[in-house]
Amino acid sequence: MKVIALAGGVGGAKLAHGLSMVLPPDDLSIIVNTGDDFDFLGLYISPDLDTVCYTLADLANPTTGWGQVDESWITFNEISALKGPDWFRLGDKDLATHLIRTAQLIQGQKLSEITKKFCEIWGIKHTIFPMSDDPVRTMVHTKNGNILGFQEYFVHQECKPIVEHFEFRGIEAARPLPQVLDAINNCDIVIIAPSNPWVSIDPILEIPNYRDAISRKPVIAVSPLIGGKAIKGPAAKMYQELGIKPCSSAVANHYKDFLTGFIIDNLDHIELEKIERWRIIALVTDILMKKNQDRLRLAQEVLKFSETILNRSR
Ligand code: FO1
């Protein structure tokens, strides 16, 4: 079964990792959000791409989910001592990724090419694509009229500002990657990881042609919310501020136009009926991924559910 996974952030990386433990390299491609990318201290930072790569390479920091394991912070501490911007923490090993990637981008290499080479070096066998080689920047429009870059909102201002809407700056001009379109057209199923629908998955879907290509395939999603709360990050807070009750069915509703199947947590079993009324096939299970074993178990369940869905449509 050929699978495309859409991912962004720590939750997305965990499920992508689980899928990579089950599927052979040729059967899994992961498309990663780059709307969170930004320039910091002159370096090109691609947080979601790095989180997915580090996680699949078993290099991720298990406590934060982002950055590398066994980091040292010598440069970061010096930056801080020099009164440089220290609200975004870059470890020494992580810095090497940003330095080399920035240098190669300046030389004219594409983000997708650099990612491919890094993956080879890190021993990642499955394919990881940035959603585009062109810049897209998620901007958070807040209730008090400010427009914040995503990392400014997320890290510097700790997701405190009240959100009004999101803008994916540059999205109309961002070209889809031909390799991604091919991979979508040749896949059996698209799996949307338990990532934030508003800021991790929507930017991918908004790249010209992706939503149409994805809509032609069976699509299943895993809820990023359990019992009305986000497993990690500000998804529930965002739903609330946008005037929508944060719950799994609200996520299903978000993807309703093209969703074939939806996976929710046992805690949300009462939402099953509502979701099935939209003709979405639902699976209720334990979706929390605390340990590596949970990633594997959930991935196995997602793939079994995918097979059931594919058999039904045959
Ligand atoms: N998240 C934080 O909350 N604080 C940080 O200082 C921070 C640094 C950081 C460095 C590299 C990297 O790849 C990710 C980093 N993140 C940090 C995580 C990241 O900003 C967010 O998790 C994602 O953008 C949301 O998907």
What's residue 313's pLDDT?
Answer: 73
160-176 tens-digit pLDDT: 999 999 999 999 999 99
What's residue 140's pLDDT?
Answer: 98
What's residue 260's pLDDT?
Answer: 97
Please state the pTM of the whole predicted model: 0.97
Name the token pair of 301. Answer: 């369940």
- Residue whose Cα lies nearest atom 3 of ligand 1: it is 155
Using CA atoms, how far residue 13 sits from 27, 145, 157, 276, in Å, is 17, 32, 24, 28
Contacts (Cβ under 8 Å, ≥6 apart) of 134: 170, 173, 174, 175
Q: Are strands 137-142 and 147-149 parallel, antiparallel or unpaired?
A: antiparallel
- Rounded to whole angstroms, the Cα distance separating 4 from 190 reads 5
Outline where the chain has alpha helix (H). Answer: 9-22, 47-56, 74-81, 92-106, 111-121, 150-151, 178-185, 202-206, 210-215, 235-241, 248-255, 272-277, 292-313
Instruction: Spell out the SS3 assignment of 138-181.
Output: EEEEECCCCEEEHHHHHHHCCCCCCEEEEEEECCCCCCCCHHHH
Probe residue for ligand 1, chosen from 54, 151, 155, 201 as the CB with the greatest number of ligand atoms within 8 Å: 155
Atom of ligand 1 nearest to the CA of 54: 13
Probe residue for ligand 1, chosen from 43, 59, 88, 102 as the CB with the greatest number of ligand atoms within 8 Å: 88
What's residue 312's pLDDT?
Answer: 87
- CA 10 to ligand 1 center in whole angstroms: 10
Is the separation of the CB atoms in 219 and 260 below 8 Å?
yes
- Residue whose Cα lies nearest atom 12 of ligand 1: it is 47
Q: Are strands 261-265 and 3-7 parallel, antiparallel or unpaired?
A: unpaired
- CA 88 to ligand 1 center in whole angstroms: 7
- Rounded to whole angstroms, the Cα distance separating 131 from 33 reads 6
> Residues of the chain whose pLDDT is less than 50?
none
Tell me if residue 126 falls in helix, strand or coil.
coil
What's residue 240's pLDDT?
Answer: 98
What's residue 267's pLDDT?
Answer: 98
Average pLDDT, the chain: 97
